[in-house]
Amino acid sequence: MNAPTALATYVIGHRNPDADAICSAIAYAAYQEARGERGHVAARCGNSNARIDAILARFRHPLPLFLGDVSPRVRELMAADVVEVAAEATCAEALDLLDRHNLRVLPVTGPGRRVIGTVSLARLGGIFLPRAAEPRLMRQVRTSLGHIASALTARALHAPDDARVEELYIRLGTMAVASFWKVSERENIPPGRSLIIVGDRRDIQERAIALGVRALVITSGLPVDDDILAQARARGVGLLVSPHDSATTAWLVRAAATLDRVVDVQFSSVHPDARVADIRRRLAAAMHTPALMVVDDTGALVGVLSKGDLLKPAPTRLVLVDHNELSQAVPGADQATIVGIIDHHRLGPVATPQPILFLNEPVGSTCTIVADLFRRDGLEPSADLAGLMMAGLVSDTLNLQSPTSTEKDARLLAWLEARAGMGARELADLIFSSGSVVLASPPDKIVRADFKLYDEGGARFSVSQVEELGFDNFRARAGAIASALADLRAEERLVFAALLVTDINTQNSLLLIKGDPAFVARIGHAPVVEHEVFDLPGVVSRKKQLVPYLAGLLKELEAEGVAPSSGKSETPFRAG
């Protein structure tokens, strides 16, 4: 299945598309491109058939792009340009990134961008506000001399083994030299793990070096005597010069701690192809989760999805052709951005958050409407494009023999004939002799050929339609097709499922129906086979003849307080 891209506007027909749905999608996308509106792509949400294949082959056009589901995915809304921090970084680096990019959470990654965890301001707070009941922890910091120098932007006069990460304890050299080391001795802190922050007090500097502390940090950019530097080198004591005062230096040294103790390894992640609707529910329930890490199949970071990202409009844009009911639309259409509808059917319950282009005319095909757009705008379609529009018009109106046909269909058909360089009769022969759906397809595919769902006052039902040259092929397979129709009804939980088989030659139809007995008993046409197949002379239009008739029967039952059932525990019909 092809995945939608955010930059395109997809022109797409209904599920299980017929020739008009396919041809009008191609033609309307071409119309918009001819007007200079770039990015329109013809699409489909169902399989082709022999008739459609014959049309596309005749007019040298490939099948439109297949989209089986346009539900917005995480990859379409996530922030892909991710700010991250390496696992070996310091708290100072993480704080800088959080502040500079105004972030609430920061991914922590290792080799191959694999997510190790996350860090936030709340987690980093523990570095600067440890528990007061443990004074030893107030001074403890896990870091290296290199990290400290970087956090302080200090001059490293001597920094032996500066990459070694170790536990150090911060001391301020502010007391008299006589009592300077007594506090450390009481807390049992060895000199080699002590970091002394001091100003220009030479006595403290010499005492600390003599004790062999890990490093001295001289504050306020004060000068260091040459002999002090020589003593530090001789004893292997680090010597850094901080440009900051003592209080700021002590704070920044704590910020030089490595991230390992503040990383939250219990982070939430999601795959980039996950449905946004599912993730929206998950994030709503996770009150303290500001964002999800988006990781691929290898665990590598590809993006971050925040709660704010879920407020973005759906990036997938759709123009619906040859239908306007979401029950017939590509799955996920209710979550996409519908920007237009071009149709010739009854109005269904579709709502959009913003005004859209809506063209709905009582004509025989959607291709009629699109052809009229070309004509009115003075745009000349190519011969092949005119032929495709002819094919949709001829197919949907049975070459103007259907009761849905109008004078406008006839006028536009003649206009298209002149541009396609072929007659409608010739094209009709090609279309209707291109193969029997009943012979070429298994029963479960037959009952879903040109399959449409309807909802009348809470009663859900379906009507499929196939067009044949005579009824012999259908009669030979009626039993298997009836079983498949019953399975379809059960699967979709419908009051009834119907298949209209139309003979193009005689302009008559047979109706195969599986449904609630109370409803089936209302059908006033002559039964042909055990009340499952009914003879419908002169009926060829699902839209104009059959669906209004079936909907009327449902309303009669509703008025009488009879509630037909789908045969399941939960009825899809509510009387009254």
Alpha helices of 140-196 — where are they, by DSSP H? Answer: 145-152, 182-186
Q: What confidence tier does 255 reach under pLDDT thresholds 50, 70, 90?
A: confident
Which residue, 10, 2, 20, 32, is CA-closest to 381? 32
Domain closes at, from 211, 242, 273: 242
Identify the pLDDT of residue 140.
85
Which residue, 32, 84, 29, 26, is CA-closest to 55? 26
In the predicted structure, residue 223 carries a pLDDT above the cut 70: yes
Which residue, 79, 75, 68, 76, is CA-closest to 10? 68
> Which residues, including other chains, have CB under 8 Å from residue 560's CB and lie 6 or more apart?
none
Q: Is residue 570 part of a domain?
A: no
**Structural domain count of the chain:** 4
User: What CATH code is carried by the domain that includes residue 107?
Assistant: 3.10.580.10
- Mean pLDDT on 230-238: 95
Same domain assignment for residues 444 and 554: yes
The residue whose two tokens read 């696992």 is 87
Q: Is residue 389 part of a domain?
A: yes
Q: Is residue 132 part of a domain?
A: no
Measured distance CA(45)–CA(38) in Å, rounded: 22
Q: What confidence tier does 576 reach under pLDDT thresholds 50, 70, 90?
A: very low
Same domain assignment for residues 50 and 97: no
Identify the pLDDT of residue 34.
96
Q: Is residue 1 part of a domain?
A: no
- Averaged pLDDT score across all residues of the chain: 88
Other beta carbons within 10 angstroms of residue 551's beta carbon come to 16
Q: Is residue 568 part of a domain?
A: no
Same domain assignment for residues 200 and 227: yes
Same domain assignment for residues 219 and 366: no
Measured distance CA(69)–CA(234) in Å, rounded: 72
Q: Which range scores top for mean pLDDT: 125-139, 276-290, 373-387, 454-468?
A: 373-387
Same domain assignment for residues 380 and 302: no
Tell me the Ramachandran region of residue 311: left when phi exceeds 0, alpha when psi lies from -120 to 50, beta otherwise: alpha
In the predicted structure, residue 39 carries a pLDDT above the cut 50: yes
Same domain assignment for residues 441 and 552: yes
Same domain assignment for residues 66 and 80: no
Identify the pLDDT of residue 184.
58
Same domain assignment for residues 307 and 319: no
User: What CATH code is carried by the domain that includes residue 30?
Assistant: 3.90.1640.10
Domain closes at, from 390, 408, 432: 432
Q: What confidence tier does 186 reach under pLDDT thresholds 50, 70, 90?
A: low
Same domain assignment for residues 456 and 540: yes
Identify the pLDDT of residue 282.
76
For residues 107 and 306, the answer to whether their CB atoms sit within 8 Å is no
Question: 229: domain range?
Answer: 154-242
- Mean pLDDT on 318-340: 93
Q: How confident is the model over 474-502, as pLDDT tens digits?
A: 999 999 999 999 999 999 999 999 999 99
Measured distance CA(468)–CA(502) in Å, rounded: 6
Q: What confidence tier does 462 reach under pLDDT thresholds 50, 70, 90?
A: very high
Q: How confident is the model over 129-144, as pLDDT tens digits?
A: 655 545 556 678 889 9
Measured distance CA(446)–CA(468) in Å, rounded: 12
Same domain assignment for residues 376 and 463: no
Q: How confident is the model over 425-454, as pLDDT tens digits?
A: 999 989 888 878 888 889 999 999 888 999
Same domain assignment for residues 331 and 424: yes
Measured distance CA(541)–CA(559) in Å, rounded: 26
Q: Is residue 248 part of a domain?
A: no
User: What CATH code is carried by the domain that includes residue 448?
Assistant: 3.10.310.20
Q: Is residue 252 part of a domain?
A: no
Same domain assignment for residues 445 and 532: yes
Q: Is residue 158 part of a domain?
A: yes
Alpha helices of 153-245 — where are they, by DSSP H? Answer: 182-186, 202-211, 226-235
Measured distance CA(445)–CA(47) in Å, rounded: 10
Q: Which helix (H) or strand (E) covers residue 197, if one does? A: strand 194-198
In the predicted structure, residue 269 carries a pLDDT above the cut 80: yes
In the predicted structure, residue 242 carries a pLDDT above the cut 50: yes
Q: What confidence tier does 528 reach under pLDDT thresholds 50, 70, 90?
A: confident
Identify the pLDDT of residue 545.
92
Out of 239-253, 283-297, 505-519, which region has the weakest mean confidence (pLDDT)? 283-297
Identify the pLDDT of residue 571.
40
Out of 51-60, 170-179, 309-318, 492-501, which region has the weakest mean confidence (pLDDT)? 170-179
Q: Report DSSP state, residue 15.
A: S
